[in-house]
Amino acid sequence: MKKLKTALFCLLLAGLQTNAQSMKPIYLDNSQPIERRVEDALSRMTLEEKVALCHAQSKFSSHGVPRLGIPEIWMSDGPHGVREEIQWDSWGNAGFTNDSCTAYPALTCLAATFNPEMSHAYGVAIGEEARYRRKDILLGPGVNIYRTPMNGRNFEYMGEDPYLASVMVVPYIKGVQQNGVAACVKHFALNNQEEWRGHINVNLSDRALYEIYLPAFKAAVEEGKVWSIMGSYNQLRGQHCCHNDLLLNKILKTDWQFDGAVVTDWGGAYDTKQAALNGLDIEMGSYTNGLSSKAKFGYEDYYLAKPFLDLLKKGEVPVSVVDDKARRVLRLIFRTAMTPNRPYGRFVCEDHSATARKVAEEGIVLLKNDKQFFPVPVGKYQRIAVIGENATRSVTEGGGSSTLKVKYEVSPLDGFISKYGKEHVTYSMGYASGPSLYDREEPSKLNADSLIKAAVETAKNADVVYFVGGLNKNHFQDAEGGDRKNYSLPYGQDKLIDAILKVNKNIAIILISGNAVSMPWVKDVPAIVQTWYLGSEGGNAIANVLSGAVNPSGKLPFSFPKKLEDNAAHSFGKIAYPGDSINEYYKEDILVGYRWFDTKKIAPQFAFGYGLSYTTFEYGKITTDKTTYKADETVKVSFTLKNTGKVDGAEAVQVYASQPKASVIRPAKELKAFKKVFLKAGETQTVSVDVKVKDLAFYNEKNMSWTVEPGEFVLRNAASSAEVKSSVAIQVK
């Protein structure tokens, strides 16, 4: 009898377990396809819960569905490191002690590597840090095009060429998202200046839009499969980009079939009905009072909160609109916070430091090196003068949303002392960038004349001078919220360089910036290095490159004009940049960056794709696998590359295309392929790259489609846009 009771109990328990499993909501079952989980969750939600998914609940989080066990979404700046924790409803530091991150090089540096493998390693590392900090969305990377060197946020982006940005953004996204963290590509689109960014109305041709400003975003969606996109503050053709029918509904969600969520830039929404109907999914940052407004819940005042709910209840907006938004947000949550087998991440570890240093080393660009000034190996000089505030200034602070609280930061001066020895390095500030330094030095010591005098004395007694200058992340330098006011180096640096040259001509200019600068001293100094904002390992990376421990291989991701008026946007006057405060017209059209310089035959100071090495490379003649191609074929391009020097090195080879006779204006050449090639001293490799014939198309404004015209095209291998090695003609039928 006892055995029978036990058997009956076991059968009953098994039945209860089976029933419990069959009753488990599909949306909680990780074994189910995401789309089935999304539809199941959506079917269980009230209208109020659907609307709640569409707006913020704090500075950096948006609602989940607590009743159903669906978690909130937590977001973090930024593209170069995971931002410190801030207070729930203000921009103040939350006071955590465990949120000091690894700072990675700015994205201008990543683009300068011309190495997609570095981009993937970068994405993996920063994604691991975001995952460890329990973030669901990392607000980056940025891929807006470098149109003018005055843009305060250029350092956050990937340069002037849409193809380079397209190739480099995809592995970054994949690296981040393999950690169960969504990348959020920004700012969609045309956020190419900070001046009047909240309202400036951009007017441009369809060709410029599709050929220059959209390709990197398209690659992020179609190839990178990015899970979220951030809108931009500015307007396009009279509509704000965070709820722009053309950008979000037609291009992003219809043409590109984007299935993720569109997030506003903070405060980027302006109207409930437009936000509802024109493609926005999650509204962030519209108000800064929030809970502190003493309202029951201040975030309910957002455009996509109670006002949106009211429109839905009145029938002025169909429920299908909120269902689409809720689907996208749920899909995002199931891909991140509710995905199975999500890794735990890692934070501030040796591997991340190594990745940050490697990206920095590969991105540093040697611009000038007369008489082999560099490398300067340990022991060559006994007295090294390091002059310039940027040698000691933190480059992880300031700049707006790229500000980071870092575990550590190696300054250039730290790197030089570590490399050459403290007894061989002497430092002088030389210039000061403002009151922010007064807490470190007495104001009397920051007098400009006194600083120059002290620097000149230091230089006079040195064997070699490393001048570490450039820009910084102060307002109106490389910073969010304001564009640069002048193309020259700030804080009297040009005057300081001239003074140093009078007493010591053995000087190298080491620029830290995310933008091009004027160089009135370019012919007088023997060496110039562009080093970007390099993050936690910046000082070590710079010292390794300058000492010869690492052979430089970076290439410029944008052109340096000799004078500002040589830049395409500036050549047309203020209506083309920064506009008249209401409208702005992109009069240079598709001729952005090197496309302008090459087509108009204007010599830049330093060309796109340019960068020197401590070795030399010999390019063989470019060849193709055949001479005639159809529109759906791929051109197999090859040539030899030989390291003809005495040290190992890497060269970022480039392939450009042009169409000599076309029915529309076309640039003199356009980048269509590149490859980072690593060669031992004396080694020769055959370099092979593919160019798809369809990528030779232009955007046809007559029929609103991409067109490859039959006829002759010319392919060129090159070391930069200004240094073509050889060319080959092909026919397209």
Q: How far apart are CA 518 and CA 306, in angstroms?
A: 51
Which residues does 85 contact at the CB level (< 8 Å), separation at least 6? 93, 94, 96, 99
Candidates 93, 265, 116, 132; CA nearest to 186 is 265
Nearest in space to 284 (alpha carbons), one of 299, 270, 258, 264: 264
Q: Where do the H-state alpha helices sit in 504-586?
A: 538-547, 568-571
Given the structure tokens 């001078």, which residue do they identify?
465
Q: How far is CA 70 from CA 562, 647, 655, in A?
A: 55, 57, 49
| Angle of CA points 611, 172, 475, to nearest 5° | 70
SS (H, E, C) 57-85: EECCEECCEHHHCECCEEEECCCCCCCCC
Helices 116-132 and 350-363 cross at an angle (nearest 10°) of 150
Pinpoint the alpha helices (H) of 344-447: 350-363, 412-420
Contact 424, 383 (CB under 8 A): yes
Q: How many helices (H) and strands (E) does the chain have?
A: 18, 28
Q: Is the peptide bond before 141 cis (omega within 30 degrees of 0)?
A: yes
* Residue at 566: amino acid letter: D
Q: Which residues pair with 262 in a beta bridge?
A: 229
CA distance 495 to 509: 13
Q: What does the block give as tokens for 588?
A: 């240079």
Cα gap 588→567, rounded to integer Å: 10
3-class secondary-structure state, position 452:
helix
User: Do 289 and 301 touch, CB atoms closer than 8 A?
Assistant: no
Amino acid identity for residue 381 in this structure: Y
Active site residue 265: yes
H/E run at residue 323? helix 319-335
Is residue 83 within 8 A of residue 103, CB to CB? The reply is: no
Tokens of 687: 């370099």
Rounded Cα gap, residues 223 and 170, in angstroms: 6
**Of the listed 77, 265, 414, 598, which one is catalytic?**
265
CA distance 108 to 93: 28
Q: Which residues are designated catalytic?
A: 265
